[in-house]
Chain A
């Protein structure tokens, strides 16, 4: 069975702290994709990143970085020098196979609060 677990329900940090959001996934497929989405208080879902199972390179985008480790089935997301605008619910998701036909499986989400 496929599953995504975000064990951290809520995280609270003070601005400028670094914070890591954990994501652990389960799948028996060898081809899959991992995603992170952000849901700010306004409610929309914003796509942040996609990683495929054949690419374990870490990625950095400004203050955001992602660490993909197949050995531990994890795809963690780190925000460096957090800002109040980073306050949101963050979802990790898993998609299986090539030519996705809608099988996006989401974790429960982690609510991040960044205090000034």
Chain B
């Protein structure tokens, strides 16, 4: 158990509304990641963080922003949600002694109507 929680676990929202997903970890891991999972695509990296206030873009970052003001929290924001952002969102961490291996949170299922 990597001590990762995600909130909310499920969310339904309307097109054009802002949405923020939270990833919280309890074990002071340096690296945190946001992925989205869609049928036929596996998981794709949206953004990642390598420390407080240090973030970078992943493969599918358009339409998403992130923030990390504390080690334990990594926020993913959809500034203006679109139906194409309906997906399952996973947060992941990697541990300082094993940076290559990522452990995933339980996921957030987001439906944008």
Binding site for B on A (CB under 8 A): 4, 6, 33, 35, 37, 43-45, 47, 50, 52, 91, 93, 95, 98-104, 106-109
CB distance from A20 to the nearest CB of B (A): 19
B31 partner, pick from A50, A93, A101, A109, beta carbons under 8 A: A101
**22 A-B interface contacts by CB (under 8 A):** A4-B42, A33-B100, A43-B106, A43-B107, A47-B101, A50-B100, A91-B42, A93-B43, A95-B100, A99-B100, A100-B99, A101-B31, A102-B31, A102-B45, A103-B45, A104-B33, A104-B92, A106-B42, A107-B42, A108-B40, A108-B42, A109-B42
Most buried by A among B43, B56, B88, B101: B43
Decide: A45 and B90 in contact? CB cutoff 8 A: yes
Given contacts A43-B88, A108-B40, contact A102 B103 (CB under 8 A): no
Specify which chain A residues have a CB less than 8 angstroms from the CB of B92 in the assembled complex.
104
Specify which chain B residues have a CB less than 8 angstroms from the CB of A91 in the assembled complex.
42-43
Question: Bound state CA distance, A93 and B37, in angstroms?
Answer: 13
**Main SS of the interface on chain B?**
strand
Question: Bound state CA distance, A52 and B44, in angstroms?
Answer: 21
CB distance from A109 to the nearest CB of B (A): 5
Per the 8 Å Cβ criterion, residues 38-78 of B in contact with A are 40-45, 48, 50, 56, 58
Beyond the given pairs A37-B104, A102-B33, A108-B41, 15 more chain A to chain B contacts, judged by CB atoms under 8 angstroms and listed by A's residue number, are A47-B101, A47-B104, A52-B100, A95-B100, A100-B99, A102-B45, A102-B50, A102-B56, A102-B58, A104-B102, A106-B42, A106-B43, A107-B42, A108-B42, A109-B42
Most buried by A among B42, B101, B103, B104: B42
Decide: A44 and B100 in contact? CB cutoff 8 A: no
